[in-house]
Structure 1
Amino acid sequence: MSPPVAPPGWSRWLVPPAALSVHLSIGQAYAWSVFKPPLESALGLSGTQSALPFQLGIVMLGLSAAFGGTLVERNGPRWAMTVALVCFSSGFLLAALGAAAEQYWLIVLGYGFVGGIGLGIGYISPVSTLIKWFPDRPGMATGIAIMGFGGGALIASPWSARMLDSFGTGSSGIALAFLVHGLSYAVFMLLGVVLVRVPPGAARTAGRAADAAGSIRVPARAAVRTPQFWCLWIVLCTNVTAGIGILEKAAPMITDFFADTSAPVSATAAAGFVALLSAANMAGRIGWSSTSDLIGRKNVYRVYLGAGALMYALIALFGDDSKPLFVLCALVILSFYGGGFATIPAYLRDLFGTYQVGAIHGRLLTAWSTAGILGPLIVNWIADRQEAAGRHGSSLYGLSFTVMIGLLVVGFAANELVRPVHPRHHAPVRPAPEEAADAGAVPPQQAGPA
């Protein structure tokens, strides 16, 4: 499938809605915690077990983005969005079958493995294209592209809760909710497939000239051999681990924190908390990434990691004494979490140029795969162990929050080590055809503006 090229007069502002239609759909992954309590009750699962579909989905997101990044660059955004649609929707249909048959392994396979491939390909499908459409404002562009992923749960969380209220929280009700999700998201993602376009030749030429003038053209294979890439890998992994630790267990976490108070949190209020976190996640993606265009990528990551550690400390020390403080700190952490995702493509663009930024971005998302295991594992495993030891309420999470603070400090140090990439890693302005093919670069006739 050749990338659809925008005709003369095409507005670049039509591309963000195409990106949002895909990212708002796959962003449902952030509402998984709404399904955790019903699944645990219906199928007799522990908190750690009920996190498996989400964890595997994030692992597959990173792996499919890493291995599929060059294919996305070569085949274009429409091909990528089509693959994402098929995999993500099919994953829900398999999960629905698994819930109906009470076969949890099928839910894990469908939602986690198949749907996770859709997550990864869908996640990176519009990022490179939007950077090429908006070379003047890369932070804002990537914020637009990735904003929808953070906001997906803003829609999916209350929608899922309402469906479970209507269909029931047994296995058949969960199955029906999965089925509705799969069919609805297929239709919505189709809008992005139809609408997306790549820039025409004139914009490509101008963009390539600007990139050459900047003398930053680092191929993907060279990028992964630089210390800058691995510093950013640590930065992204620690920031994501800290955010996902709250997000994946958000609904049961706030319920546990205030279970022993005079005003416990209801299931409906917990679902509303998940929606609020999604709103903060979404706002952080466009707000903080746009701010990075003004203050610089390194400075904004200093905020994410340093202030994020402070927010975790406040929750650990005072969170169970005040609902507003708990909610506020969690919202700030999730805004940093979302902002980190949206800013990282622009950070990569600053360091490595736009030559193969999509492929480099895909490889870096293996940090997300790692964080997708670490975050839920740290929080759920420690909570399960503390509960087995007879503890309850906020004491289930104190140790895991301390671990998160330590990880954020490590990420802060890694960010401080980032320096400009040495010119020896740069490619020639016009690389040989075999180099471009080997790295999976876009052929000149298909490339967008660099």
Structure 2
Amino acid sequence: MEKKRWLILIACCVINLCLGSIYSWSVFATPMADYLTSFSGSLVTTADLALVYTVANSVGPITMITGGWFNDRFGPRNVILVGGILFTGGLILSGFAKSTGFLLVSYGLVSGLGLGMAYGCTISTVVKYFPDKRGLVGGIATAVYGLSAVVISPIVTMIVEKSSAPTAFKMIGGIFMALIIISSFFVKRPPENFKPEGWQPKENHARVESVEKNWQEMMKSPIFYVMIILLTCGAFSGMMVISQAAGIAQGMIGMDILAASSAVSILALFNSCGRIIAGYLSDRIGRINTLMIACTFSIAGVTVLFFTSEGTTALFYIGISIIGLCFGAFMGIFPGFTADQFGAKNNSVNYGIMFIGFALAGYFGPTVMRSVLQREGSYQNAFIIAAGLSGIGLLLCGLYKIMTKKAASIEETA
């Protein structure tokens, strides 16, 4: 079983590498906007297409929750197959888009719904197979998801330069469909209450492991609401910047299209590193302590971006690198964090519901960015809003510590 669980982790990582291509959206957006403009005759901008990315991120929790329910009953393989075909089918359909509305349906709805279904299954499966390394493994699985943009962004740029944005959608969709179908056959349902041979949870961890709450019980807990709002605040800065990273690089710093695509890759690289580093760190110093560090650095990252302007390339790279690390920390920690707090048995559905916090960040982050740019002609005030939300996240971390300490005290008294 020890070797098999690592094989399953590798298969889930390959699947997540394909699903994570959503983070390459800003590289697709600019050439697709130009293509739709030339086809329709009316101006289409990347800001107009930002809604497509927003919808793709916002609908994910719907199928993460329903897919989690089916996962618990029919196993992850079937759910990943259906979700993967939906996701990649949406990409292929996007290659036939002739309007923003078509792209909103194909990429925003079809790919977004498929993404949530498949991603929810891969994450919940690996967390269940590794109760001894939840932080690290959750970090690795989500890191590969984030790392996808490092690989995909330059490939998409190359295809677009040699052909067109629609061709890039079709080619990437077809290749990813094959990879997901093959990888899904290696994914199996973990045994109930699985524990690695020779592993015994520590005393405090054993107390947590004994807690198994379903989604109704989870939602009755005040701690759930602190956690989901914390996830929204923590992911806001990352989702805001990722949605228009290439646009920021070109419009605010003055980079050309190739340099802008490299900036997207750097952001994705630090995003992935943050997931692994924070996951590993959270296994040692605790999930909430690591999240407090991430909130603090996130404030620093958006503050750096606030002071960037045309030509300040080094400062821009520093800012997006910090934001990438911090965003990655939240994405890597929360699967294990949710399982720690509410149990691994129902984590497929529970994490799907918790992921609504991420979806809210995926909606409001790009929306705020777009609104500020359209109203003021610059991004600066959007960075101030992001810093404020990271500050609220820091306060929520403190509130979580107070609430859990009080709950433990009541439990000991009882």
- How much does 1:319 deviate? 5.6
2:15 alignment partner in structure 1: 22
Change (3 A) 1:319 1:302: farther
Secondary structure of the equivalent of 2:35? helix
Change (3 A) 1:351 1:208: farther
8 A contact 2:64–2:117 mirrored in 1: yes
8 A contact 2:253–2:308 mirrored in 1: no
1:46 alignment partner in structure 2: 45
Which among 205, 212, 223 is matched to residue 217 of structure 1?
212
2:109 alignment partner in structure 1: 113
8 A contact 1:30–1:152 mirrored in 2: yes
1:189 aligns with 2:161: no
Change (3 A) 1:410 1:200: closer
Secondary structure of the equivalent of 1:125? helix
Which among 369, 378, 385 is matched to residue 403 of structure 1?
385
Question: Taking structure 2 as the reference length, what is the TM-score of the superposition?
Answer: 0.90
Which among 271, 275, 285 is matched to residue 261 of structure 2?
271
1:438 alignment partner in structure 2: none
Distance, in Å, in 2 between the alignment partners of 1:270 and 1:282 is 19
1:384 alignment partner in structure 2: 374
Question: Taking structure 1 as the reference length, what is the TM-score of the superposition?
Answer: 0.83
Q: Percent identity?
A: 24
Which among 130, 141, 144 is matched to residue 134 of structure 1?
130
Distance, in Å, in 2 between the alignment partners of 1:181 and 1:203 is 36
Change (3 A) 1:407 1:156: same
User: Which amino acid in the other structure matches residue 195 of structure 1?
Assistant: F
8 A contact 1:34–1:251 mirrored in 2: yes
**Alignment gaps of 5+ in structure 2:** 37-42
Distance, in Å, in 2 between the alignment partners of 1:202 and 1:323 is 50
8 A contact 1:72–1:125 mirrored in 2: yes
Distance, in Å, in 1 between the alignment partners of 2:193 and 2:212 is 20
Alignment of 1:45-194 (within 5 A): 45-98=44-97, 102-167=98-163, 173-194=164-185
Change (3 A) 1:242 1:9: closer
Distance, in Å, in 2 between the alignment partners of 1:75 and 1:19 is 17
- How much does 1:337 deviate? 0.5
User: Which amino acid in the other structure matches residue 30 of structure 1?
Assistant: Y
RMSD: 2.4
CA offsets 1:316-355 (integer angstroms, 9 cap, x no match):
1356563212101211111111120110111112221223
8 A contact 1:241–1:404 mirrored in 2: yes
- How much does 1:69 deviate? 2.1
Alignment of 1:336-375 (within 5 A): 336-375=326-365
Distance, in Å, in 2 between the alignment partners of 1:416 and 1:399 is 27
User: Which amino acid in the other structure matches residue 174 of structure 1?
Assistant: A
Which among 235, 243, 254 is matched to residue 238 of structure 2?
243
1:302 aligns with 2:298: no
Distance, in Å, in 2 between the alignment partners of 1:338 and 1:21 is 18
Between stretches 63-72 and 408-417, larger displacement belongs to 63-72
Secondary structure of the equivalent of 2:96? helix
Change (3 A) 1:41 1:111: same
- How much does 1:10 deviate? 4.7
8 A contact 1:147–1:282 mirrored in 2: yes
User: Number of residue pairs matched?
Assistant: 397
2:253 alignment partner in structure 1: 258
Secondary structure of the equivalent of 2:161? helix
Between stretches 412-421 and 348-357, larger displacement belongs to 412-421
Distance, in Å, in 2 between the alignment partners of 1:182 and 1:91 is 8
Change (3 A) 1:130 1:23: same
8 A contact 2:272–2:325 mirrored in 1: yes
Runs of 4+ in 1 over 4 A off after TM superposition: 204-214, 318-321
- How much does 1:209 deviate? 9.7
Which among 1, 12, 29 is matched to residue 36 of structure 1?
29
2:39 alignment partner in structure 1: none
Secondary structure of the equivalent of 1:126? helix
Distance, in Å, in 2 between the alignment partners of 1:201 and 1:110 is 37
8 A contact 2:2–2:196 mirrored in 1: no
